[in-house]
Amino acid sequence: MNTATAPVDYLLHLADNALVLGQRNAEWCGHGPILEEDLALANHSLDLLGQARLLYQHAASNINTDAALARRFAHLQGARTQGAVTEDTLAYFRDVAEFRNFTLLELPHHGPLAGPAAGDRDYATTITRNFLYGALMVLWWERLQTSSDRQLAAIAAKSLKEARYHLRHAGDWLVRMGDGTAQSHERAQAALAHLLPCTQEFWTGCEAEAQAVQNGSGVVTAALRPDWDALVDETLAEACLQRPPAGGYVTQGKHGVHSEHMGFLLAEMQSLARAHPQAVW
């Protein structure tokens, strides 16, 4: 039986996606529009954090048993971990250019703003992002259940259940907003126009994906596009929302080229661990 291991960068791409979106959704804790949604997004964040942990643990194990990978990630090997890479060092001690998440997931909860500019949280932006990404991950986790990497296949099977719930939650809210009041419709349409261009990155290839496809541990993400389009179009029609045309700059977060917002996100997320690198809790 083929028991290939997924490339580390492929695992990190999946893990970084989950971690960064989990961090963004957690920012609604204490700020949700209603108590139920405050709790719902906190639970979504915990689901995503759980997915990220499993993927980082798998990646760390592969790094620590491969001499070439160990040298590449040597800057993450500290005294606290007895010279090994761990899930924590992968999450808290890599810099912006080392992260491989989609740019879509690091954007703040409002329309385009420059640098550290502040803006009110917009729940329509959060819901639209969760919907667009959730539609992708339901399809992606489904395919990864047959990965030749048995550990990744097991992670996919667990994550699929969570992704289906996340997609249903976001889809239901998108319909409520799009087919609701004039104001909620306008905000949902504006969020869609802002975020949909970033989904073009979903369909761009990368070396890690090519390696994963070659050994049977990964899938061609671009092959998921027809099913993703069908899922998205069906919900947008129900929500009375118009799908804007694709175009413009194609983001490159999966290649380590991020928006200006990523540094601020990591600074907040990593500050405690970096201030006390020897701490144990």
Q: Characterise 243 by phi-psi region: left (phi > 0), alpha (psi -120 to 50), beta (else).
A: beta
pLDDT band at 38 (very low <50, low <70, confident <90, very high): confident
Tokens for 106, please give them. 């690091």
Residue at 129: amino acid letter: R
- Summarised one tens digit per residue, pLDDT across range 129-184 is 999 999 999 999 999 999 999 999 999 999 999 999 999 999 999 999 999 999 99
Write the CATH number of the domain with boundaries 8-275. 1.20.1260.10
User: Could you tell me which of 217, 42, 77 has the C-alpha nearest to residue 140?
Assistant: 217
Q: Is a pLDDT exceeding 70 seen at residue 41?
A: yes
- What pLDDT does residue 55 have? 98
Query: Look-up: residue for tokens 């992968």?
Result: 90
Tokens for 28, please give them. 């609604």
The mean pLDDT value of the chain amounts to: 92
How much is the pTM?
0.94
Backbone angles phi, psi at 69, to 5 degrees: -70, -40
- What pLDDT does residue 1 have? 39
For residue 65, how far is the Cα from the chain centroid? 26
Print the SS3 string covering the chain. CCCCCCCHHHHHHHHHHHHHHHHHHHCCCCCCCCHHHHHHHHHHHHHHHHHHHHHHHHHHHHHHCCHHHHHHCHHHCCHHHCCCCCHHHHHHCCCHHHCCCCHHHHCCCCCCCCCCCCCCCCHHHHHHHHHHHHHHHHHHHHHHCCCCCHHHHHHHHHHHHHHHHHHHHHHHHHHHHHCCCHHHHHHHHHHHHHHHHHHHHHHCCCHHHHHHHHCCCCCCHHHHHHHHHHHHHHHHHHCCCCCCCCCCCCCEHHHCECCCHHHHHHHHHHHHHHHCCCCCC
- Summarised one tens digit per residue, pLDDT across range 86-141 is 999 999 999 999 999 999 999 998 876 555 556 678 999 999 999 999 999 999 99
- What pLDDT does residue 246 have? 81
Tokens for 160, please give them. 């699929």
